Structure 1
């Protein structure tokens, strides 16, 4: 799963780094090293003319057919293996494929030690996500896949990270949901080798100190080969 991540740039700086435009929804996105579900986060949407737009969305997907924005189950994550078939995510998998930019994300092992996952060169990671508009409010979910390699030693799930070279296939509206999600799952497996991780202190508050390594914890500096 992915229940916490970091995106420490304001929307204008992030849009500049990504080379995309922004909309008004993006203005409500606050930079943070400790982003939790229900926060308004930055997402990259494909526009009608084929361009890319940085927008804002609430991180907990609500399907358009729902009578309430408080579902009895969490929707901040969706399994890439089944999202195309689940009523909650089915429409978003067809028509709402997005990317969620992040510096990195956190995951906890069985003893509840948090680990910080990031690109080896600290580039912006692009996680595959799904977007649903509920009564005019954009809402979203981050797709997860089965963890592989040493990543699986920390947790059995991980976000679906899309390499930059595979962004266009993910956004291709001519690709059906099942095919797009299968492709994203494969691409996410290949992205494992791009990641590094290290243990960090329990997440409290905010700021860059949250991603500093704790040298006394096991598996410090682990690389995914």
Structure 2
């Protein structure tokens, strides 16, 4: 899963870094090292005229057909293996593919220790997501896949990271929805080896201190060398 991430740049900075246009909704995005579901986050979509646009969307997808924005289940993540078939995500998987820029994301191990996952040079990560417009409000989810490598040592799920150079097909290619999601899953597997990680202190508040590494706790019983 992906339930917390960092996007500490102003929308204008993100647009400049990635060569994007930005719309008015992008200004509603607040930079943070502790972004949680329900907040407005930056998303990248491809417009009909070919432009890549940075905008804002509420991080908790609401399908357009829903009578309420208070669903009885969380929708900030969607499994890439099943999103094309789930009624909540099916329409968005067909027509609403997006990318979510982030500096990195947090995941918790079985002992509730948070880990920070990021690129070693702290370039932006691009996570695959889906967008749904509910009563005129953009809402979104981040796709997840089975974790591999060092990611799997912390948690069994991870966001679907689109490696550099593969964002354009994800946003623009018109193909069978199941095929697109299978391709995204495969690309996410290729991206695993790009990530660095380290444990961090429990997430409280905000700021760059949240991603500073901390020494892992000693194993119980190992009190002396």
TM-score, normalised with respect to structure 2: 0.95
Equivalent residue, structure 2, for 1:222: none
Which residue does the alignment assign to 2:207?
207
CA distance in 1, matches of 2:200, 2:171: 34
Aligned match of 1:192: 192
Query: Can you give the 5+ residue segments of structure 1 that lack an aligned partner in the other structure?
Result: 219-225
Determine the C-alpha separation between the residues in 1 that align with 2:15 and 2:206. 22
Q: The residue matched to 1:88 in structure 2 has which SS? A: coil
How far 1:177 moved relative to its partner?
1.1
Alignment pair present for 1:174 and 2:174: yes
Cross-structure match for 1:122: 122
Q: After superposition, what is the alpha-carbon deviation per residue over 1:113-151, rounded to whole angstroms, capped at 9, x for unaligned?
A: 000000111110000000000000000000000001121
Separation (CA, whole Å) in 2 of partners of 1:174 and 1:144 = 21
Residue 128 of structure 2 aligns to a residue whose secondary structure is strand
C-alpha distance in 1 between matches for 2:179 and 2:129: 15
> What is the match of residue 143 of structure 1?
143
CA RMSD of aligned residues (A): 0.9
2:64 aligned partner? 64
Match of 1:153 in 2: 153
SS at match of 2:44: strand
- Whether contact under 8 Å (2:46, 2:172) holds in the other structure is no
Q: Matched residues in 2 for 1:40 and 1:217: separation?
A: 34
> 1:132-181: CA deviations, max 9, x gaps?
00000000000000001121110000000001211122112412211110
- The answer for the alignment partner of 2:13 in structure 1 is 13
Whole-angstrom CA distance in 2 between matches of 1:150 and 1:5: 18
Give, in angstroms, the shift of residue 31 of structure 1: 0.2
Residues 5-56 of structure 1 show CA distances to partners (whole Å, capped at 9, x for unaligned) of: 0000011111111110100111100000000000000000110112200000
**Mapping of 1:85-124 within 5 angstroms?**
85-124=85-124
> Is there any run of 5+ residues in structure 2 with no aligned partner, and where?
219-225
- Equivalent residue pairs, number: 218
Q: Which residue of 2 aligns with 1:162?
A: 162
Match of 2:43 in 1: 43
Q: Any conservation in 2 of the 1:95–1:173 contact (CA below 8 Å)?
A: no
**Largest Rg, 1 or 2:** 2
Q: Any runs of at least 4 consecutive aligned residues in structure 1 with deviations exceeding 3 A, and if so which?
A: none
Residue in structure 2 matched with residue 77 of structure 1 by the alignment: 77
Q: How much has 1:97 moved relative to structure 2?
A: 0.0
